[in-house]
Amino acid sequence: MVAAVSLQNVYKVYNKVPVVDGLSFEIQAGEMFGLLGPNGAGKSTTIRMLTTLTKPSEGRIQVAGFDVDHQRSLVKSHIGVVLQQISIDSDLTVWENMEYHGRLHHIPNPQRQKDIDQALEYVELSDRRNDPAKTLSGGMKRRLQIARALLHKPEILFLDEPTVGLDPQTRRRLWEIIRKLNQQGMTMLLTTHYMDEVEYLCDRIGIMDAGKLISLGTLEELRQQYGKGILMKQTGEHWDYKFFPTVEDANQYLEQLPDKTGTMTRPSNLEDIFVELTGRNLD
């Protein structure tokens, strides 16, 4: 079975410095894949290469079975992209933004009108179809971006920090839209700064740092690898962390300590593993 997304030993070099350094992984059809990394890890460059906006310096990338270097038009016709930056035209109405995108993808009428109605209904913007896009809230603009990305019915959807800057309630609403799309079979790659977003949405997680993929697996696999239990000890203004195979192991260690002041145990989470691997919080 051909992977929906495949990167094989991919490099991207700027001024002789590798921003992406020997990256290799695959995303299977229907999978929700999360890509995590601190600022400067190479996530955005990776997304740009996957969506044909930047050419890799070395290596091979295939998306929907097509080579991003030599079959760019075919790749573009099979993908949807929702970028972190708001990219809708504020001077057009909601419907006009969709109409313009539909024409760019050569979707014929009356199918185009039907598809626009369907996409706007899906993201709950049907009642705002005639409103100027500049009157929409931040969350509505993001939903419009998703509707637009879905209009040509892509096989694969790339989401680059789609909920950044949104309030918690709006973020949750977008999560449900994204999750429902994935449950219907759409393959997705998500980059985000929110650990809870990855834990809630993603089947597998890739962690990048300094252009390299440093860990890959499901959340359960990562917790199994690094430890399901954490012992935390407060030292001044900082917390020191120690991983254990299980919470029970952490508790047994705690019981043996002569001084338990400022010490506690709990189950490990993705943020613990991320900090352990990169030495940094995901700001």
Same domain for 152 and 257, yes or no, is no
Q: Is residue 103 part of a domain?
A: yes
Query: For the residues of 82-113, what is the DSSP string, one character each?
Result: E-SS--S-TTSBHHHHHHHHHHHTTPPTTHHH
Each residue of 17-40: pLDDT tens digit? 999 999 999 999 999 999 998 888
Q: Is the pLDDT of residue 282 over 70?
A: no
**Higher pLDDT residue, 70 or 283?**
70
Give me the number of domains the chain comprises: 2
Over range 166-186, report the average pLDDT: 90
Q: Are residues 43 and 163 in the same domain?
A: yes
Please check whether residue 273 lies inside any domain of the structure: no
Q: Are residues 182 and 242 in the same domain?
A: no
Return the closest-CA partner of residue 50 out of 32, 31, 67. Answer: 67
Which phi and psi (to 5°) does residue 29 adopt? -60, 130
CA proximity to 241, closest of 214, 215, 277, 209: 277
Tell me the pLDDT of the chain averaged across its residues.
Answer: 92
Q: What is the mean pLDDT of residues 107-123?
A: 94
Query: Can you read off the two tokens belonging to residue 11?
Result: 């490099």
- Look at residue 95 in the predicted model and tell me its pLDDT: 96
State the CB neighbour count (10 A cutoff) for residue 153: 13
Within a domain: residue 133?
A: yes
Q: Which run of H or E residues covers position 276? A: helix 270-278
Could you report the per-residue pLDDT of 36-52, keeping only the tens digit for each? 988 888 998 999 999 99
Q: Looking at residue 72, which CATH number applies to its domain?
A: 3.40.50.300
Q: Give the residue from 221, 256, 275 where a domain finishes.
A: 221
pLDDT reported for residue 106 = 92
Are residue 128 and residue 248 in the same domain, yes or no?
Answer: no
Helix axes 219-226, 270-278, angle to 10 degrees: 60
Same domain, 80 and 202: yes
* Single pTM value for the model: 0.89
d(CA 91, CA 133): 7
Residues 253 and 167 reside in one and the same domain: no
One-letter amino acid for residue 193 of the chain = H
In this structure, the answer to whether residues 253 and 115 fall within a common structural domain is no
Residue 278: inside a domain: no
For 49-63, what is each residue's pLDDT tens digit?
Answer: 999 999 999 999 999
Q: Is 36 in contact with 191 (CB distance < 8 Å)?
A: yes
pLDDT at 279: 78
Expressed as residue numbers, the domain containing 251 is 228-267
Q: Is residue 175 part of a domain?
A: yes
Cβ contact 11:34 at 8 Å: no
**One domain for residues 216 and 236:** no
Q: Judge whether 199 lies within some domain.
A: yes
Note whether residue 197 is domain-resident: yes
In a domain, 79, yes or no: yes
pLDDT at 281: 56
Higher pLDDT, 278 or 270: 270
Model confidence pLDDT, tens digit, residues 218-263: 999 999 999 999 999 988 888 888 999 999 999 999 999 998 889 9
Whether residue 245 sits in one domain with residue 211:
no
Distance CA 174, CA 142 (A): 8
Q: Are residues 214 and 242 in the same domain?
A: no
Judgement on whether residues 249 and 109 belong to the same structural domain of the protein: no
Q: Are both 210 and 77 inside the same structural domain?
A: yes
pLDDT digits (tens, 9 = 90+) for 198-212: 999 999 999 999 999
Cα separations (Å) of 117 from 43, 123, 239?
A: 33, 10, 52
Q: Is the pLDDT of residue 73 over 70?
A: yes
